[in-house]
Structure 1
């Protein structure tokens, strides 16, 4: 989900920035940025802190609202995240191939871009959980806080898996795009069916592939201009059909009408939602393009989008940390879910985004991409790349499956830097002798 690909670096000259803007579909950057901000909004409205005679309690005002379930049909943007990611991935893959690179170069570059920014986060989480444990924080409260802080990390695992599949999935897309989509959708149905038949929730982990790869393939179609060539009426019909299909699907008692519950592990409704969202994006593409011609929109997307990955990774830890500081200094807390509490959410959003941008500035060193390959060099051999992928994806997968803990954080502190280091190694290309 790295937002850096399509946006100019801070040192880029004004003329270069204008050239980049003229060549890009900035709607992609706008949507990616908007999705990140919406995720932050969801989380700061889902976590409420109440202070009473019995101490501090954590509640979920958003989930207690009467309109919450309906809102998830709009606010569940993760399928769109993967659609946009598919657009960026196939564009990045074709750029790699055009400059003479291959699958190993693409995977190493993408995984480092995704996981190196996570290194300081896991260090921070390990230190925080370790100190809290030593200070005797009640286990139940610490587990609840850790669960909330670690909940967004599932994305690192899921997106890392889809990135590893990009070279193969692009090849399938170019040879048989519709068969590929059909097979992925069929696999998603089969996995959900097996999960319901066995009653084993862990079976759903198999859908980390089909559901998110299905959304990614839609992004491939978007990059190829397929959605742009469709009529507005056709796109509207498909989008409406996608949402209409969700009504009976989520009413039979197998899939939850709360589309956030269908997220981990991912389930079939998210694939249908991805179709509807991709069509809706194309329907509003023209006005969004006009919006992105304004300096205000470009500036907002540049500021927030450039550090989108850091904002995503750090917003919940920062929100919890800032809340803790506020408790220590005696800031009065309104009752979660009250009118006053909802009125303070925009303030909380601005504070969290500002703090995340500050962290991004401080940690800019970790957000640098891999250097381009020198002539005659290549990325490490496939066995090394596989080990590196396991080291980087593994800790996030552990958090996704078993929730955040001190042990999981320490695993990330050790494994992710090792994986990033391995990905950055180079070897002579095939047929090139080392001098």
Structure 2
């Protein structure tokens, strides 16, 4: 039989693709892709590498601007990322349940999809930091570089935790959505109060749950059409109210007005920022939907979005590497923060995205999803899944808490592949004897 499709088959395939696109809210894909690009751009503008008579200088031009703090109230998009993640999660969970899957199937598929792309990154980081250590790189310089490279890895821990909670949180959402949202908000506030009263920053790590789960629950509301059914005036009022609440919260010294400072550990203001951002997105949902009906927009989102996780994970190591290569070959560096430097930031963004996409394509085998279960097969038992979750989430959590180092990178290079391996194993389904 020929491997080529006939014209009717091709037409049927094309109709199927269009049907899938029609059933999805492509604005979610657009927002998710835009968030990744914005995060990359922010980092491109926050790291200013220059040369001087006494050596290489590294500054943060973006943070030196007078309007930087105010801009974080719009540019801090991680709450919105968790909101759109919540939309995708509840849709994915309901699809899993509809085909007969359960929580173990969900854990395995989502953790593999999240952490398999991180396997080569941890291996490269361990090899690079180990080589730099053996080569005698000054420890303070190496620690500074490692801190910058590892800073995005907090997301793996936070998102991994929220993904593991999806089965429970969907159940709570379906039973009592508003009570669940209110409870998460109160719990996040209580944790922040304890942290501020005791001065123990480690207490704030508990808010990895309530703050990001709150944003995820807003995504559940999005998927259920709650925002779409609200009047535009109400969405405006809610968004204004959320931003208004941030003013006293960040003016009394309890929380920083800089929303990036409130990120790790996550703090209560990010929950209010998630409310405002979710409402603002739905105010422009109509124009964004029309935009996503164009082939150009769909192609752009597909080009960047399909490798979004790999781009996010690799963009800072690649940016530092590109700057190092440019220094070695003698590329002239404009003064960080100057007119020429700012004018070159879009060029730097395009170059970095291009290189990151190329790396992502080369590592595409690490971004493949876990195949669906075949009849008679089942996911690993809960004890194995829990061990696998600890192996995958643990190193990213260690980076967030201890910062990146050779030992942490080495632990990730060993544990993350082990966790992914355990997650990919299947066992006989209940009542099925394997021959």
Does TM, normalized by the shorter one, top 0.5? yes
In structure 1, the residue matched to 2:420 is 420
In structure 2, the residue matched to 1:197 is 197
Q: For residues 412 and 13 of structure 1, what CA distance do their matches in structure 2 show?
A: 41
Q: Residue 16 of structure 1: CA displacement?
A: 3.6
In structure 2, the residue matched to 1:88 is 88
The DSSP-based 3-state class of the residue aligned with 2:354 is helix
In structure 1, the residue matched to 2:209 is 209
Q: Residue 13 of structure 1: CA displacement?
A: 5.5
The DSSP-based 3-state class of the residue aligned with 2:228 is helix
Q: If the length of structure 1 is used for normalisation, what is the TM-score? A: 0.96
Q: For residues 68 and 144 of structure 2, what CA distance do their matches in structure 1 show?
A: 21
Q: For residues 182 and 18 of structure 1, what CA distance do their matches in structure 2 show?
A: 39
Q: For residues 400 and 335 of structure 2, what CA distance do their matches in structure 1 show?
A: 30
Q: Residue 432 of structure 1: CA displacement?
A: 2.2
- 1:310-360 per-residue CA deviation (whole Å, 9 max, x = no partner) reads 110000000000000000000011111111111110010000000010001
Q: Residue 376 of structure 1: CA displacement?
A: 1.8
1:361 counterpart = 2:344 = no
In structure 2, the residue matched to 1:236 is 236
- 1:59-85 per-residue CA deviation (whole Å, 9 max, x = no partner) reads 111111111001101100000000000
In structure 1, the residue matched to 2:429 is 429
Q: For residues 278 and 353 of structure 1, what CA distance do their matches in structure 2 show?
A: 26
In structure 1, the residue matched to 2:6 is none
The DSSP-based 3-state class of the residue aligned with 1:66 is coil
Q: Residue 131 of structure 1: CA displacement?
A: 1.9
Q: For residues 156 and 206 of structure 1, what CA distance do their matches in structure 2 show?
A: 16
Q: For residues 103 and 197 of structure 1, what CA distance do their matches in structure 2 show?
A: 37
In structure 1, the residue matched to 2:287 is 287
Q: Residue 23 of structure 1: CA displacement?
A: 1.6
1:372 counterpart = 2:344 = no
Q: Residue 134 of structure 1: CA displacement?
A: 2.2
In structure 2, the residue matched to 1:182 is 182
- 1:251-309 per-residue CA deviation (whole Å, 9 max, x = no partner) reads 00110000000000000000000001111111110000000011110010000001100
- Give ranges in structure 2 of 5+ residues lacking alignment: 1-11
Q: For residues 190 and 23 of structure 2, what CA distance do their matches in structure 1 show?
A: 41
In structure 1, the residue matched to 2:9 is none
Alignment of 1:248-397 (within 5 A): 248-397=248-397
Q: Residue 123 of structure 1: CA displacement?
A: 1.0
Of 189-198 and 118-127, deviating more is 118-127
The DSSP-based 3-state class of the residue aligned with 1:133 is helix
The DSSP-based 3-state class of the residue aligned with 2:51 is strand
Taking only aligned residues, the RMSD between alpha carbons, in angstroms, comes to 1.0
Q: Residue 19 of structure 1: CA displacement?
A: 2.4
Q: For residues 309 and 185 of structure 1, what CA distance do their matches in structure 2 show?
A: 28
The DSSP-based 3-state class of the residue aligned with 1:51 is strand
- 1:348-390 per-residue CA deviation (whole Å, 9 max, x = no partner) reads 0000000010001100110111111011211001010000000
Of 56-65 and 187-196, deviating more is 56-65
In structure 2, the residue matched to 1:120 is 120
Q: For residues 14 and 298 of structure 1, what CA distance do their matches in structure 2 show?
A: 15
The DSSP-based 3-state class of the residue aligned with 2:100 is coil
- 1:196-219 per-residue CA deviation (whole Å, 9 max, x = no partner) reads 110011110000000000000000
In structure 1, the residue matched to 2:52 is 52
Q: Residue 135 of structure 1: CA displacement?
A: 2.2
Of 215-224 and 58-67, deviating more is 58-67
Q: Residue 433 of structure 1: CA displacement?
A: 2.5
In structure 1, the residue matched to 2:148 is 148
